[in-house]
Amino acid sequence: MLPEAFLSRMRQQLGEEYPAFLESLERPRAVALRFRPGKGAPPELPFVTGQVPWEPMGRYYSPDARPGLHPFHEAGVYYLQEASAMAPVTLLDPQPGERICDLCAAPGGKSTQIAGRMAGQGFLLCNEVNPKRAKILSRNVERMGVSNALVTNEHPQTLARHLPEWFDRVLVDAPCSGEGMFRKEEAAVTDWSPETVQMCARRQGEILNSAAALLRPGGRLVYSTCTFAPEEDEGAVAVFLESHPEFEPETVAAPWFVPGENGSCRMWPHKLLGEGHFAAVLRKVGGEEREIGYQAGERLPKPWETFVRETGISLPNGQGVTFGSRLFWVPEGTPELKGLRVMRPGLELGELKKERLEPAHALALWLRDCANTVCYPWDSRELAGFLHGEVLPIHRRGWCLVQADGYSIGWGKGDGTVLKNHYPKGLRR
Ligand code: SAM
C-alpha cells in the first residue's frame, strides 16, 4: 500500500502518464548484476537473460535465480546491482588514471562500477559517513578485487577541507526519500513522509556544497538519487546552480533516459527495465589542475619480497605502506590523508607474523593468477569443501591460490601432503 500523499504528488507530476507508472509498480521488478571487467568476456551463466543497455558489463538475470549464493559472487566475478542504479556511473564516465571521489558510497555498487571503468589505474576515494556501512563498503571493495581504492569514513565537509579541488570527477549518490525503491524495499514505503522529502532536500544541498569544493575546475560532478520527488531532484540541482555560478549543466547523450532541465535525466520504471532514478551532470568551469604533494612510499619488509619471489606476482602502479604488522599497497598519487578516518588505505597485501608473511584475502581476490594455483570447477565437491573451511588433500608446498573456474577465491597453504585452509572464517559457509 503506497501512501496517499505520495500517489497524489505522482498524479500531479505525471499527468496522463500516471496510469502507466502505477501499472509498472504492480509488475515484478527486473533484477540485474554487473560483471567485473576482466581479460576476456564475462562467463556465460545460465541465469543471465539479457544486456543492461547503458552499462556494457550489466546483465539482467532470471528472478528465480540466487546469484548471491553462487561461489562466483564470493570470488567477485559480479556485483548484484539494480539496473537503473548503474546509470549514474555511465554518466560520470570515469577514465583510467583519474582521481575520482564517490562521496556517499556504501554499500559500494557505484564505487565498484567506477573501479571497473578505471581498470586499476588512478585514484578512487570511496567515502561513507556511517561507520557500519563503511565496513560493508570496504568488504565489497575487497570482494570485487579493487587495487586502486581507499575507503574513508568521513563527513563530506571534512573531506572537502582536506582535499580542496583535488578530484577530476565526483559522484554524489545522495541519501534520499527512496521513492524509486518502493517496489524493491518495503522499508522505503514505511519510512516515507512529505517531511522526509524536505529533510532530504536540505541534506542534499549540504552534501552538494562539499562535492563542489572537492572538484577541480574543469571537473565533472554527477548528482543522483533514487527518488521521484522534484524537491530532491531538479529542485536540488536548481538551488545548487543558483548558489554555485562556477558550475554549468552538461549535455549528455544518454538515449535510454528521459532528458530534463539543467543537465538532468530521469529513469522511469514505466519507460525502462529498472527502478526509478534521477541524475544530473554538471561541470565546474575553468580547467587548471592544482598540483599536490604525494606521500612517499616505504620499502616493504623482506618477508613480502620473499613472498613475491615465490608466487611471481607483480603489483600495479603504487607504493607499499605498513600499518603495524599489516601491509597495504596504496594507489600511485595518493594524497596526504593524515587526520582522516581511513578504513582501508588500499589493497591489503598481508600481515607479518613472526617474520613470515601471511597473504591477505583481499590480495587473493585481486590476483588473476600466481605461480602456485589450484583450480576447481565452481560446482565441485572440493570447492564446496574449501568454502566450508576444509583442508584440501593435495600435495602442494607454500602459499597456493585457490580458484573457482579460473576466478581466484582464497588462499591455502601446502605442507607437501595437504593444503591448509586460509579462507576467512567469517566467510565460511
Ligand atoms: N552509492 C551507493 C551504492 O551505489 O551502493 C548508495 C549510496 S546511498 C543512496 C546514500 C549513502 O549516503 C548512504 O550510505 C548513507 O549512509 C549516506 N549518507 C547519509 N547521510 C549522509 C550525509 N549527511 N553525508 C554523506 N552521506 C550520507
Please spell the DSSP secondary structure of 136-155, one letter per residue: HHHHHHHHTT-SSEEEE---
The number of the ligand 1 atom at minimal distance from the alpha carbon of 130 is: 16
pLDDT confidence bin for 292, thresholds 50/70/90? very low
pLDDT score recorded for residue 396: 93
- d(C-alpha 139, C-alpha 107), whole Å: 9
Mean pLDDT of 218-243: 97
pLDDT score recorded for residue 156: 98
Mean pLDDT of 300-319: 89
C-alpha dihedral (299, 302, 307, 308), degrees to nearest 10: 40
Is the pLDDT assigned to residue 419 strictly greater than 90?
A: yes
Residue 353 CA, ligand 1 centroid: distance in Å? 37
Residues with CB under 6 A from ligand 1: 85, 104-110, 128-130, 133, 156, 173, 175, 203, 207
The mean of the pLDDT values for the chain is: 94
Is the pLDDT assigned to residue 293 strictly greater than 50?
A: no
Is the pLDDT assigned to residue 289 strictly greater than 90?
A: no
Nearest residue (by CA) to ligand 1, atom 20, is 175
- d(C-alpha 105, C-alpha 129), whole Å: 9
Nearest residue (by CA) to ligand 1, atom 1, is 105
Mean pLDDT of 229-236: 97
Identify the weakest region by mean pLDDT among 18-22, 182-186, 234-238.
Answer: 182-186
- d(C-alpha 209, C-alpha 181), whole Å: 26
Mean pLDDT of 349-378: 95
- More confident of the two residues 181 and 21: 21
Contacts 24+ apart (CB under 8 A), 417-422: 418/391, 418/392, 418/393, 418/394, 419/374, 419/391, 419/392, 419/393, 419/394, 420/391, 421/386, 421/389, 421/390, 421/391, 421/392, 422/358, 422/361
pLDDT score recorded for residue 234: 97
Task: Based on the residue annotation, tell me whether 176 is a catalytic residue of this protein.
Answer: no
- d(C-alpha 167, C-alpha 63), whole Å: 39
- d(C-alpha 270, C-alpha 337), whole Å: 45
Query: Within 13 A of 313's CA, how many CA atoms are on the CB side?
Result: 22
Residue partners of 208: CB distance under 8 A and separation at least 6:
172, 174, 223, 236, 240
What are the DSSP E strand ranges found in 195-314?
A: 215-225, 247-249, 258-259, 264-267, 277-284
The number of the ligand 1 atom at minimal distance from the alpha carbon of 178 is: 9
How does pLDDT run across 5-32, given as a tens digit for each residue?
999 999 999 999 999 999 999 999 999 9
Nearest residue (by CA) to ligand 1, atom 23, is 203
Residue 50 grid cell: 539479457
Residue 222 CA, ligand 1 centroid: distance in Å? 14
Residue partners of 311: CB distance under 8 A and separation at least 6:
370, 371, 372, 399, 401
Burial category of 394 from C-beta neighbours within 10 Å (exposed 0-12, middle 13-18, buried 19 and up): middle
Q: What angle do CA 120, 410, 416 make, to 5 degrees?
A: 130
pLDDT score recorded for residue 296: 56
pTM value is 0.95
Mean pLDDT of 101-124: 96
Q: What angle do CA 64, 66, 68 make, to 5 degrees?
A: 155
Is the pLDDT assigned to residue 294 strictly greater than 50?
A: no
pLDDT confidence bin for 288, thresholds 50/70/90? low
Residue 317 CA, ligand 1 centroid: distance in Å? 30
- More confident of the two residues 334 and 126: 126
Cis peptide before 107 (omega within 30 of 0): yes
pLDDT confidence bin for 39, thresholds 50/70/90? confident
Sheet with 419-421, side-by-side order of all strands: 373-376, 397-404, 407-415, 419-421
Question: CB of 97 within 8 A of CB of 122?
Answer: yes
Cell 598481508 belongs to: 350
Mean pLDDT of 150-177: 97
Mean pLDDT of 69-86: 97
What backbone torsions phi and psi does residue 67 show, to the nearest 5 degrees? Answer: -65, -15
Q: How far is CA 194 from CA 1, 11, 220, 230, in A?
A: 16, 15, 31, 12
- d(C-alpha 361, C-alpha 151), whole Å: 17
pLDDT score recorded for residue 354: 86
Mean pLDDT of 351-362: 94
pLDDT score recorded for residue 297: 66
Q: Which amino acid is it at 186? A: E
